[in-house]
Amino acid sequence: MKPSLRFVALASAMLAAFPAWAEKADRDKPVNIEADRVSVDDVRKTQVFEGNVQLVKGSLVIRAERIVVSQDDDGYQRGVATGTASTPPRFKQKREGQDDYIEGEAERIEHDARAEKTEFFNRAWVKSGLDEVRGQFISYDALTEKYIVTSGPNGTRAQPGSGERVRAVIQPRSKDGAAPSGRPSTVSAPALKVAPGIATPRQETAQ
């Protein structure tokens, strides 16, 4: 089913989760959401989208089994996307001025509009162009445009001997900002902070 515009406006809180170097044209595109079921609690200011949820806004696509959007008394919204054991929530969006995409996944993705912070929990993975990082927890602060990635859950370090490690691939940039392919890099990646830990991630399934 396709929710009404009222539901769409509230669910669009999830869109702020994505970095400033994403496709700027997406900001002016309409939001379209499809789900098998939508429930609304006006008293608690909560909307729940369930069943093969797909949110599309321009080049941005979010897929999840469940997206919950809540709103506080000041009008700030919080979105939580979850999936299943075999199909985690995922996002993908074109990078501004580039031919490639920002994409990522985790068992749970949360966005707090008040704090302008997005957090990826458990088996988290974010890729921007040819650069990527994987960890058990990834936090992105839109105000400072910085990542924090840790090997343990909820921002902690993994226990010694666990074998969990953060994995990061950062491609070199020439003085003129060109990427390894020779294409000019018009958008710089945010600063990256890592703490040891993570297991080898799974391969993306065909969609």
Counted domains in the chain: 1
* pLDDT, position 123: 92
42 within domain boundaries: yes
* Residue-range definition of the domain harbouring residue 81: 5-194
Sign of torsion, CA 165 123 141 154? Answer: negative
pLDDT in tens, 169-183: 988 876 655 555 544
206 within domain boundaries: no
- Listed residue (132, 141, 136, 134) closest to 154, CA to CA: 136
119 within domain boundaries: yes
**CATH number for the domain harbouring residue 139:** 2.60.450.10
Which of the two residues, 57 and 54, has the higher pLDDT score?
54
201 within domain boundaries: no
